[in-house]
Amino acid sequence: MAGNSFGKLFKLTTFGESHGPAIGGIIDGCPAGLKLDFEAIQNELDRRKPGQSKIVTQRKEPDTVEFYSGIFEGVTTGTPIGFVIHNTNQKSKDYSHIKDVYRPSHADYTYDKKYGVRDYRGGGRSSARETASRVVAGAVAKQMLNNLKINAFTSSVGDIFLDKPYQDLDFSKIESNVIRCPDEASAEKMIAKVQEVKKQGDTIGGTITCVLQNVPVGLGEPVFDKLHAELGKAMLSINAVKGFEYGSGFCGARMKGSEHNDKFNKDGSTQTNLSGGVQGGISNGMDIYFRVAFKPVATTLQKQYTINSSGETVEMQGKGRHDPCVVPRAVPIVEAMAALVLADYMLLDKTSRL
Amino acid sequence: MAGNSFGKLFKLTTFGESHGPAIGGIIDGCPAGLKLDFEAIQNELDRRKPGQSKIVTQRKEPDTVEFYSGIFEGVTTGTPIGFVIHNTNQKSKDYSHIKDVYRPSHADYTYDKKYGVRDYRGGGRSSARETASRVVAGAVAKQMLNNLKINAFTSSVGDIFLDKPYQDLDFSKIESNVIRCPDEASAEKMIAKVQEVKKQGDTIGGTITCVLQNVPVGLGEPVFDKLHAELGKAMLSINAVKGFEYGSGFCGARMKGSEHNDKFNKDGSTQTNLSGGVQGGISNGMDIYFRVAFKPVATTLQKQYTINSSGETVEMQGKGRHDPCVVPRAVPIVEAMAALVLADYMLLDKTSRL
Amino acid sequence: MAGNSFGKLFKLTTFGESHGPAIGGIIDGCPAGLKLDFEAIQNELDRRKPGQSKIVTQRKEPDTVEFYSGIFEGVTTGTPIGFVIHNTNQKSKDYSHIKDVYRPSHADYTYDKKYGVRDYRGGGRSSARETASRVVAGAVAKQMLNNLKINAFTSSVGDIFLDKPYQDLDFSKIESNVIRCPDEASAEKMIAKVQEVKKQGDTIGGTITCVLQNVPVGLGEPVFDKLHAELGKAMLSINAVKGFEYGSGFCGARMKGSEHNDKFNKDGSTQTNLSGGVQGGISNGMDIYFRVAFKPVATTLQKQYTINSSGETVEMQGKGRHDPCVVPRAVPIVEAMAALVLADYMLLDKTSRL
Amino acid sequence: MAGNSFGKLFKLTTFGESHGPAIGGIIDGCPAGLKLDFEAIQNELDRRKPGQSKIVTQRKEPDTVEFYSGIFEGVTTGTPIGFVIHNTNQKSKDYSHIKDVYRPSHADYTYDKKYGVRDYRGGGRSSARETASRVVAGAVAKQMLNNLKINAFTSSVGDIFLDKPYQDLDFSKIESNVIRCPDEASAEKMIAKVQEVKKQGDTIGGTITCVLQNVPVGLGEPVFDKLHAELGKAMLSINAVKGFEYGSGFCGARMKGSEHNDKFNKDGSTQTNLSGGVQGGISNGMDIYFRVAFKPVATTLQKQYTINSSGETVEMQGKGRHDPCVVPRAVPIVEAMAALVLADYMLLDKTSRL
């Protein structure tokens, strides 16, 4: 209930603060018999880790995952998979300057008011560091979904938009540049934009588009746990996310029914896909695609005035190694959360018929 | 797990198809000691019911709720509140023409594929009729939250946008017109737009904005059950919803950190509120506001080609009494779901400290 | 969370007080495609209903169940099954004498202290009337488990014990007498015992033994949701139950390992079955059997002294139509709860392997 | 759903096999602001650990718990508490002789059948080693419940019974002997009995009685989550448990209502307490007491015949360092599970009234 679990049957529970000894989690409900590729899991972690390029934070965290249970001779046993990522780079002193300070548009104030106590080091539990555990679990989920294709990519940075339909993109090129945009021309502009704001000591927002392909028909649990509602919650639970739309999204709200309806082909597929692969909360076999909005990172290197816990005005300035744009590192997180939802709903669907 | 429950501590489970004998639900976890105003509950139902104006469906459903339990001498007892709304207008024969037909952009196809069987009458469980039960429960939740202000309103219909910040609106005027837009000039244009598409036998989408005021600081359960993530899921679970954004939303993705950060006042309030009243998934005491996108209703009165369960092309035409625009009737549903989330998170927060 | 739901995937939520307009429930998660035998469901309700013989309460409640949803043309559709049993015999005035009185060993005092308010009519929510909803859901579950055999029977009344191993009993004779003991000689003594205490205006306890046969290997979710732990909880949730043991039970605590271990046959079955069909919380294919202890009904017809809500001593006397022994009417309830557990765990097990 | 979590609001999820690198868990929902006494936690672990006396297994496992999160400067922060106990004594080769063997009355066979794969080393997940994580979480829960008294003790070993009412015992003497029976004369007989069976290479069962004192009125969630039902499930989930009874228990089934009813004193307390401190599933302020039956440990040092996974008969013999009687080491586990239930229900009860 306290909000640190995700999923119903394929269930991830995470723990850990950014500057404690370790973060980690437990995957409960991963079916037995899945042969794991540990290199692929570490690879996903590496896509998320700091320090991987010039346009992300230069913090060094190796982020090596250790599995403690639930796997025997490389195969899942049906018992809970416990895993831990030790925090090797806990420079707690870096954060002493914010001990009593509520940083603007961070969660310092709200955690303090809710709990009456907070671990002020680096954002504590509210730090995006927690998402490393999601990436581990998502990588396991991806392996369970081996026939499905889950591809996320950066579709905008500030005002730079990737203006092509996803069908015209080559997803194999997502990793070919540091911004994770599969269109090289757009990627270059985005990277330049990030470098520009970085120079200013500023940060910038962006969007990620995610496409799920080869999803079987029938995933989704009406009426409250519609597939797209759970995907939406999954995405909105990621740090810095401000919006979610799928299929026609907010554009659909401007359309007429005669324009928006997806005509069926005889095989049950549809000629258009404004529905975004989901009807009535249940996948229809077409591509599922959605877009996620990320606000700019709140920590800038510019001087700001704010308050401390005594209600006094104080001056503060972000230090060193923060992300000027969170979006490229969030790409594997979006994929991980999508994989967790799909794995969970695959298992749920196993019980829908006699 | 099968998706018909919402909430953790203040929990609603609903049942019922559009053309069965009744729909209804159980509210489990409503605290004891709440004196209920039954007229206010019925009033919310009346806001949602068909036939209330010229721009919504002309079906007649009185939608009278009967409470069967959990209330003694007008006061909640802490035991589950069972309620039923009898379907008095089950014209099943109206739907015989779609028995084997998969209507475009409806859930006929996906329910059939998922369950291998479906109640084809009027959409069965996928009908928006189910939301009447949500409105009942939301009305109870609203009474539990008596100091909070929950106001939703129509903020666009097709390309007609209400172009004022919500702070400039008088929420007491929401009910003063049939489109439920508190700005009279915008409302007139929206109504004209709906009447125009109605004449064409067509339908149109729109958006609803919702503002939650006087929300106490501290609601929200990090990290997966962030307050806005649960609000997002709640909204995305409503029929026809395609998108959700809160605070700066998708616009926030185009901004810089230096523009986006909300500066603190000494009392912990903020000078701007691009955050939308939530920081790190926890309410900060500022207004929470969000926007929800609704696609156009899939049932038009125009002739369409589609397929049946044998994969044959068939011609179909929507009949009679459908909504040309779902948005005005969805306003109380959005409020109801917001109330359910807030009530639930109020209870959860009671357990966050010793 | 508020305790009115049972099960994880095959989930029953009930509502209703003994003297409100109706009781009922929602079964969420019953798989689609189950053809229901409604007569069989009503038959189970009839086994539980009052007035069926001389040794149970003479209250008349027809207990007719109405299904409102989730079933189309007699077949489950995978959507929630809502059902209602109207209370036709709500003699509320019968209970005015206990309005402020806390009856000894009833739940009057604890409900009042917990909730600050209570529906005093007939025990309200704490009345065993609620179990009628369980019997309905259990009857649906039984039909889903059509190859399994679920048989409960009265194994003791006071000091009268059925002293035969269950293997020597003919379960088809359970319904052949009003005490529901398949051994005629024991049944006669038990019935005489109940009539004797009834004459004294007293009541008496007893035990029910339940045997589950043809249960597939593999049901049970270690480590907290062991199959027998869930069965234990299910039984202990029935009104008046004070104890649960399975397999060797309390006798097992007196034995040595060399006596207690069940030797394997080559096919994986065991020569003895002191384990009671469960190893490590998972069914092993052998018969599952357990025993449930019921205390005597607290309402006697003898004069008693007790207190009221002001802490004053008051005299009270139970009236008319109570059960001298709850055990025979509890037999179908025990079976229903066992069926609910098995149905739930059958669905859970579908997700344990790739 | 997969069964590795316990509790609703104070929720423990555990992971780990007996011979993997580590076991551990996550406590989600522990309220913020609890100052922890780490020595007291380790002390509870030490009560459970092997090698502490001559009558338990001589395996050496230091069982040192490391906390990774959720605690800042010694105080809980409201975020999940992750903890790990490294397995320092993983002598996997000890278990090679049972790789394909199904040990009688162990869970080898059922795990293999359920999951199609198993970690055969030392029972894997079915090993009682998992309960060390429960003891850690229970020790945290105990500290949250600092005014409550939770005392469990050995009340029988084989046929040696402690024949005194708990009221006549001095709980401070529970730890004064290795069998954990507060009555010295009984303890000596029990210890002699264990030594006798140990010499025979055999094992023996026993019972534990647990008494919960100073429990506030009002804990328990009717109707399915009755306090005693949850306690029952908690106990039945412990390895080797075969039965649970509370209050009058199985004896109550032999009594008459006129004998069994607990008369009220004017302050709401009762003169007798056959109810065992719970009425209608809710605590009434009187002592809660219950008794738990443990079967003899299945691993004996005697030669046994059994089968392997190919269905062949094989001879096997337990080796070295097993417990001749599990009961004394189970005492802290029973207390831990009781503490977890109470902590959870304390939090739940906070939400029962406006």
pLDDT tens-digit readout, B13-41: 999 999 899 999 999 999 999 999 999 99
**What average pLDDT does the segment A312-318 reach?**
87
C93 pLDDT more than 80: no
pLDDT in tens, B253-295: 999 999 999 999 999 999 999 999 999 999 999 999 999 999 9
Q: What is the percent of chain A where pLDDT is above 90? A: 86
In this complex, which chains have at least 3 CB pairs below 8 Å with chain A? B, C, D
Q: Give the three-class secondary structure for D211.
A: strand
Q: pLDDT at position B88, please?
A: 85
- For residue A354, being part of any structural domain is answered with no
In this structure, the strands spanning B288-294 and D149-157 are: unpaired
* Rounded Cα–Cα distance for residues D158 and C22 (Å): 50
Per-window interface: D 51-110 vs A, CB < 8 A: 66, 68-70, 72, 75-82, 84
Q: Do A353 and C79 touch (CB under 8 A)?
A: no
Q: Which pair of structure tokens corresponds to residue C62?
A: 């027809």
C320 pLDDT more than 80: no
Residue of A nearest to C351 (CA): A347
Nearest to B25 by CA among B139, B112, B108: B139
Q: pLDDT at position C57, please?
A: 80
- For residue B354, being part of any structural domain is answered with no
**How confident is residue B53, by pLDDT bands cut at 50, 70 and 90?**
confident
* Rounded Cα–Cα distance for residues D164 and D157 (Å): 15
Q: What is the percent of chain A where pLDDT is above 70? A: 97
Using CB atoms within 10 Å of the CB of residue A7, give its burial: 0 to 12 exposed, 13 to 18 middle, 19+ buried. Answer: buried
In this structure, the strands spanning A278-279 and A282-283 are: antiparallel
Nearest to C183 by CA among C161, C210, C211: C161
Q: Which of C119-123, D16-20, D178-182, D347-351 has the lowest mean pLDDT?
A: C119-123
Q: pLDDT at position D318, please?
A: 73
A95 pLDDT more than 80: no
What residues of D are in contact with residue B32 (Cβ under 8 Å)? Answer: 352-354
User: Number of helices (H) and strands (E), helices first, in chain A?
Assistant: 8, 17
- Whether chain B has a CB inside 8 Å of the CB on D33: the answer is yes
Q: pLDDT at position D1, please?
A: 83
Residue of D nearest to A79 (CA): D125
Using CB atoms within 10 Å of the CB of residue A188, give its burial: 0 to 12 exposed, 13 to 18 middle, 19+ buried. Answer: middle
Contact yes or no for D151/D211 (Cβ under 8 A): yes
* Rounded Cα–Cα distance for residues A240 and D117 (Å): 41
CA dist B206 → A257, B200, B219 (Å): 12, 17, 29
**What average pLDDT does the segment A225-235 reach?**
98
Q: pLDDT at position C23, please?
A: 97
What mean pLDDT value characterizes chain A? 94
- For residue C354, being part of any structural domain is answered with no
Residue D311 CB contacts under 8 Å (≥ 6 apart), including other chains: C266, C267, C268
Q: pLDDT at position D201, please?
A: 93
**What average pLDDT does the segment A169-192 reach?**
97
* Rounded Cα–Cα distance for residues D145 and D168 (Å): 24
Q: Do A77 and D11 touch (CB under 8 A)?
A: no
A94 pLDDT more than 70: no
The number of residues in chain B equals: 354
**How confident is residue A56, by pLDDT bands cut at 50, 70 and 90?**
confident
Contact yes or no for B4/C9 (Cβ under 8 A): no
Residue of C nearest to D352 (CA): C115
C274 pLDDT more than 60: yes
Q: pLDDT at position C89, please?
A: 67
Burial C64-82 (b: 16+ CB within 10 A, else e): ebebbbbbbeebbbbbbbb
**What average pLDDT does the segment D206-218 reach?**
98
User: How far apart are the CA of D37 and the nearest CA of chain B, in angstroms?
Assistant: 16
Q: pLDDT at position D62, please?
A: 82
Nearest to A217 by CA among A42, A102, A346: A346
* Rounded Cα–Cα distance for residues A275 and A220 (Å): 14
C193 pLDDT more than 90: yes
- For residue D354, being part of any structural domain is answered with no
B320 pLDDT more than 70: no
In this complex, which chains have at least 3 CB pairs below 8 Å with chain C? A, B, D
Binding-site positions of A for NADP(+): 48, 54
What residues of B are in contact with residue C124 (Cβ under 8 Å)? Answer: 72, 77, 79
| Interior angle at CA C237, CA C234 and CA C241, nearest 5 | 105
Q: pLDDT at position A61, please?
A: 75
Would you tell me the crossing angle of helices A327-349 and A227-236 to the nearest 10 degrees?
Answer: 150
- Whether chain A has a CB inside 8 Å of the CB on D24: the answer is yes
- For residue C84, being part of any structural domain is answered with yes
Contact yes or no for C32/C77 (Cβ under 8 A): yes
**How confident is residue C165, by pLDDT bands cut at 50, 70 and 90?**
very high
Q: Where in B117-215 does DSSP place strands (E)?
A: 149-157, 160-161, 206-213
Q: pLDDT at position C47, please?
A: 95
- Residue carrying structure tokens 């009560």: D47
* Rounded Cα–Cα distance for residues B222 and D79 (Å): 8
* Rounded Cα–Cα distance for residues B7 and B257 (Å): 34
Using CB atoms within 10 Å of the CB of residue C290, give its burial: 0 to 12 exposed, 13 to 18 middle, 19+ buried. Answer: buried
Q: What is the DSSP string of A234-248?
A: HHHTSTTEEEEEETT
Binding-site positions of D: 48, 54, 125-127, 239-240, 280, 295-299, 321
More confident residue, D122 or C47: C47
Contact yes or no for C24/C87 (Cβ under 8 A): no
| Helix residue spans in chain A (DSSP H) | 38-48, 108-115, 131-144, 184-199, 227-236, 249-252, 257-260, 327-349
Q: pLDDT at position C217, please?
A: 98
Q: Where in C29-146 does DSSP place strands (E)?
A: 65-67, 71-72, 75-76, 81-86, 101-102
Q: pLDDT at position C50, please?
A: 85
Q: Do A17 and D79 touch (CB under 8 A)?
A: yes
Q: pLDDT at position A235, please?
A: 98
User: How far apart are the CA of C56 and the nearest CA of chain B, in angstroms?
Assistant: 26
Say which of D34, D222, D352 has its CB closest to residue B354. D34
- For residue B63, being part of any structural domain is answered with yes
Count of CB pairs separated by less than 8 Å, A with B: 382
**What average pLDDT does the segment A87-111 reach?**
82
- For residue B273, being part of any structural domain is answered with yes
* Residue D56 structural domain: 5-349
- For residue A11, being part of any structural domain is answered with yes
Instruction: Kindly report the CATH number assigned to the domain that includes residue B262.
Output: 3.60.150.10
Q: pLDDT at position D107, please?
A: 95
Q: Do B29 and D351 touch (CB under 8 A)?
A: yes
Nearest to B89 by CA among B47, B60, B129: B60
A92 pLDDT more than 70: no
What Rg, from alpha-carbon coordinates, does chain D have?
Answer: 21
Q: Which pair of structure tokens corresponds to residue D27?
A: 């406590």
User: How far apart are the CA of B231 and the nearest CA of chain A, in angstroms?
Assistant: 8
**Which residues face A282 on adjacent strands?**
A279
Q: Which pair of structure tokens corresponds to residue D76?
A: 């809980």
Contact yes or no for C101/C318 (Cβ under 8 A): no
pLDDT in tens, D43-102: 999 999 888 888 888 777 789 999 999 999 999 999 999 999 999 866 556 667 778 899
B148 pLDDT more than 70: yes
Q: Do D225 and C3 touch (CB under 8 A)?
A: yes
Q: pLDDT at position B121, please?
A: 85
Would you tell me the crossing angle of helices C327-349 and C227-236 to the nearest 10 degrees?
Answer: 150
Q: How many domains does chain D have?
A: 1
CA dist D187 → B179, D58, D152 (Å): 80, 20, 14
* Rounded Cα–Cα distance for residues C291 and C242 (Å): 11
**What average pLDDT does the segment D109-129 reach?**
92
Say which of C125, C205, C264 has its CB closest to residue D254. C205
Contact yes or no for A85/A63 (Cβ under 8 A): yes
ipTM above threshold 0.90: yes
Q: Which pair of structure tokens corresponds to residue C326?
A: 């709850």
What residues of D are in contact with residue B34 (Cβ under 8 Å)? Answer: 354
- Whether chain B has a CB inside 8 Å of the CB on A17: the answer is no
- Residue carrying structure tokens 């049970």: C220
* Rounded Cα–Cα distance for residues B324 and B197 (Å): 7
User: How far apart are the CA of D17 and the nearest CA of chain A, in angstroms?
Assistant: 6
What residues of A are in contact with residue D16 (Cβ under 8 Å)? Answer: 68-69, 80, 82
D122 pLDDT more than 90: no
What mean pLDDT value characterizes chain C? 94
What residues of B are in contact with residue A275 (Cβ under 8 Å)? Answer: 105
C97 pLDDT more than 80: no
